[in-house]
């Protein structure tokens, strides 16, 4: 193998006095930009290349105080975009060290700094631009006739990578929670992501670095969610639309193709409705369950349209969303080595319970159908290397369970709970569930059903 770029001995620091003024103490931004421009590289290409610092540690004590072994983001040896946001941060995480030259490049007022911000929000964009810039760097100084004779060894390299990963052996850094549940490489779409369970999922993903598009038919709800919860290190973006029709799902997928040409890594089908207004026990009372006539009269109050509307959103819409977004998910998988994209469907324990779901036959039946649809999607997507998992929650505060939300897009519940946990679901319960499935630690999960329900299905009649 011919070494084209880099130095053979990378375990020793460069002797003092050899580096230009662009590096070390007193580093000068423009000198560095000019050095790379002289070799034909733009500021944005330089910003893309320097993202490789995401995986690095210092081999030797640096003059500016970076110790031997010092890391340049909180997830060394992990190929992600945390380096960009943490280099730009006014207060980087403890144990993260920054070169002065990197800090100069990260200045948001500069062209490279703007690229830093873009890459921090768009992992797929960075991966594609790094690949192009690194290829350009690899052939720098090589004549065109030699370049023309080079052989593409990508397939061989991927085989070697897979063989290495197949051992399953990990060092302590790789099993840290910050690595297993990091979402900084994710671009996600969460339907119904501005309120209720959808907002809980959105918050968890964004708080751990993901770029999240949230859908809703209500623009004001989307705007409020972004205003309140778009606090980083990831980002939230509005995607207005209707997921209850095939046309609406196709439009959303087409819009995402324009916004994210490198694909996405996660689709959360969370949007859902309940239309058993005429029969649910909470507002209509429960009939005498020993009287066949009373049971019949009570449940025949249900209307055909209530069933049709429920299934249209809770089953049909989820089917068309999953099918429309499959190509984007497959494309997104290609830009994150060692990761497989996934669909996470938010169903309900109502689809597993054997009772009437407190008088909500249409809702519970639709959730049972949705859970089985997820099994079918998992089988259908398997050879495309896109996973499908299910979250089947117990009772969580949402607009569906409480009837509305407050000015924080949150809902509140004041009800007794009969589950072993003795309470309703919390935001953190849902956050832990989605992080387990969405992060790198969840890539071995496929066609699984998670039940964050406080043990409800343990003590009440249910099948799993």
Domain boundaries, the chain: 5-175, 179-458
pLDDT of residue 377: 98
pLDDT of residue 172: 81
Residue 48 in contact with residue 126, Cβ under 8 Å? Answer: yes
Residue 266 in contact with residue 189, Cβ under 8 Å? Answer: yes
Position 164 pLDDT exceeds 80: no
CB proximity list for 165: less than 8 A, separation 6 or greater: 338
* Short-list 189, 185, 204, CA closest to 440: 185
pLDDT of residue 123: 80
Position 114 pLDDT exceeds 70: yes
CB proximity list for 17: less than 8 A, separation 6 or greater: none
In this structure, the number of other CB atoms found within 10 A of the CB of residue 294 comes to 13
Mean of pLDDT values over 267-287: 96
Range 179-458 has CATH code 3.40.50.720: yes
Q: How far is the C-alpha of 37 from the C-alpha of 45, rounded, in Å?
A: 10
Question: pLDDT band for position 298 (50/70/90)?
Answer: very high
Question: pLDDT band for position 98 (50/70/90)?
Answer: confident
pLDDT of residue 167: 58
Sign of CA pseudo-dihedral 439, 443, 445, 446: positive
Mean of pLDDT values over 376-401: 94
Position 157 pLDDT exceeds 50: no
Mean of pLDDT values over 294-307: 97
pLDDT of residue 77: 66
Mean of pLDDT values over 390-414: 87
Position 341 pLDDT exceeds 90: yes
Mean of pLDDT values over 264-270: 97
Position 328 pLDDT exceeds 70: yes
CATH class held by domain 5-175: mainly alpha
Position 10 pLDDT exceeds 60: no
Position 379 pLDDT exceeds 90: yes
Q: What is the mean pLDDT of the chain?
A: 87
pLDDT of residue 11: 52
- For 420-449, letters b (16+ CB in 10 Å) and e give eeeebbebebbbebbbbbbbbbbeeebbbb
CB proximity list for 145: less than 8 A, separation 6 or greater: none
pLDDT tens sequence across 381-390: 999 999 999 9
Cα angle: 136, vertex 141, 142; to 5 degrees:
85
Position 155 pLDDT exceeds 90: no
Of 186 and 404, the structure prediction assigns the larger pLDDT to 186
pLDDT of residue 126: 87
CB proximity list for 226: less than 8 A, separation 6 or greater: 236, 237, 238
Active site (catalytic) residues:
348, 363, 367
Mean of pLDDT values over 325-340: 92
pLDDT of residue 414: 78
Mean of pLDDT values over 229-244: 93
pLDDT of residue 173: 76
pLDDT of residue 215: 97
pLDDT of residue 183: 92
- Greatest mean pLDDT among 135-139, 341-345, 420-424 lies in 341-345
Residues, the chain: 464
């Amino acid at each position: 193998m011919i070494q084209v770029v880099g130095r053979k001995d990378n375990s020793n620091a460069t002797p003092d006095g050899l580096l230009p003024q662009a590096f070390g103490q007193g580093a000068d931004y423009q000198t560095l930009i000019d050095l790379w421009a002289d070799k034909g590289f733009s500021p944005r290409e330089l910003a893309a290349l320097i993202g490789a610092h995401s995986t690095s540690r210092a081999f030797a004590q640096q003059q500016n105080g970076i110790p031997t072994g010092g890391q340049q983001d909180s997830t060394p040896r992990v190929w992600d975009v945390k380096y960009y946001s943490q280099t730009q941060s006014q207060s980087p995480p403890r144990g993260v060290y920054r070169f002065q030259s990197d800090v100069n490049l990260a200045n948001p007022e500069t062209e490279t700094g703007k690229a830093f911000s873009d890459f921090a929000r768009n992992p797929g964009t960075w991966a594609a631009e790094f690949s192009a810039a690194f290829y350009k760097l690899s052939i720098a100084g090589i004549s065109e006739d030699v370049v023309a004779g080079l052989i593409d060894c990508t397939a061989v390299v991927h085989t070697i990578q897979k063989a290495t990963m197949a051992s399953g052996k990990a060092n302590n850094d790789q099993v840290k929670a910050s690595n297993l549940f990091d979402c900084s490489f994710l671009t996600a779409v969460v339907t119904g992501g501005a309120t209720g369970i959808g907002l809980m999922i959105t918050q968890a993903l964004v708080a751990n670095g993901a770029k999240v598009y949230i859908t809703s038919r209500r623009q004001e709800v989307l705007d409020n969610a972004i205003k309140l919860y778009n606090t980083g290190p990831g980002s939230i973006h509005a995607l207005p639309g209707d997921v209850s029709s095939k046309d609406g799902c196709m439009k959303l997928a087409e819009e995402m193709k324009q916004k994210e040409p490198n694909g996405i890594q996660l689709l959360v089908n969370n949007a859902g409705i309940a239309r058993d207004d005429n029969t649910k026990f909470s507002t209509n009372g429960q009939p005498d369950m020993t009287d066949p006539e009373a049971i019949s009269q009570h449940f025949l109050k249900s209307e055909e349209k209530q069933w049709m509307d429920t299934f249209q959103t809770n089953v049909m819409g989820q089917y068309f969303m999953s099918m429309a977004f499959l190509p984007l998910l497959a494309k997104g998988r290609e830009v994150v080595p060692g990761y497989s994209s996934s669909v996470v469907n938010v169903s309900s324990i109502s689809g597993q319970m054997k009772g009437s779901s407190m008088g909500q036959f249409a809702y519970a039946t639709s959730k049972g159908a949705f859970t089985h649809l997820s099994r079918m999607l998992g089988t259908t997507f398997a050879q495309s290397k896109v996973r499908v998992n299910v979250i089947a929650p117990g009772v969580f505060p949402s607009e569906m369970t409480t009837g509305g939300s407050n000015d924080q897009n949150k809902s509140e519940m004041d009800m007794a709970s009969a589950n072993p946990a003795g309470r309703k679901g919390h935001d953190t319960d849902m956050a832990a569930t989605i992080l387990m499935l969405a992060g790198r630690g969840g890539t071995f999960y496929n066609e699984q059903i998670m039940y964050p329900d406080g043990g409800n299905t343990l003590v009440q009649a249910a099948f799993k």
